[in-house]
Amino acid sequence: MTLKVNENGIDRNMTETEEAAYLALSAQVQAQAKAQADETKIKAEKKASALAKLGLSADEAAALFE
């Protein structure tokens, strides 16, 4: 797969070095996004579990802390 880059309005193929750097950065960004999504999911699950143990709905818990 050949990736393109635009320099001053001119499209050209990326060099092997540019393409490798782009793909490495892309993989890093995707890994960070997945880690953040996983962390958010775990936090939501812990919150739901705690509320269930207390027998409260999310609205009831929110009302307690207003």
Q: What confidence score (pLDDT) does residue 62 get?
A: 87
Query: Rounded to an integer, what distance in angstroms lies between the CA atom of residue 47 and that of residue 58?
Result: 9
Which pair of tokens denotes residue 36?
């953040």
> Over the stretch 9-64, which tens digit does the pLDDT of each residue have?
999 999 999 999 999 999 999 999 999 999 999 999 999 999 999 998 889 888 98
The domain ranges of the chain are 4-64
Whether the model clears a pTM of 0.85, i.e. scores above it, the answer is no
pLDDT range class, residue 65, cuts 50, 70, 90: confident
DSSP string, 1-66: ---EEEETTEEEEPPHHHHHHHHHHHHHHHHHHHHHHHHHHHHHHHHHHHHHHHT--HHHHHHHT-
- Check pLDDT > 80 for residue 1: no
Residue 5 Cα to chain centre, angstroms: 25
The residue written with tokens 């699950």 in the block is 45
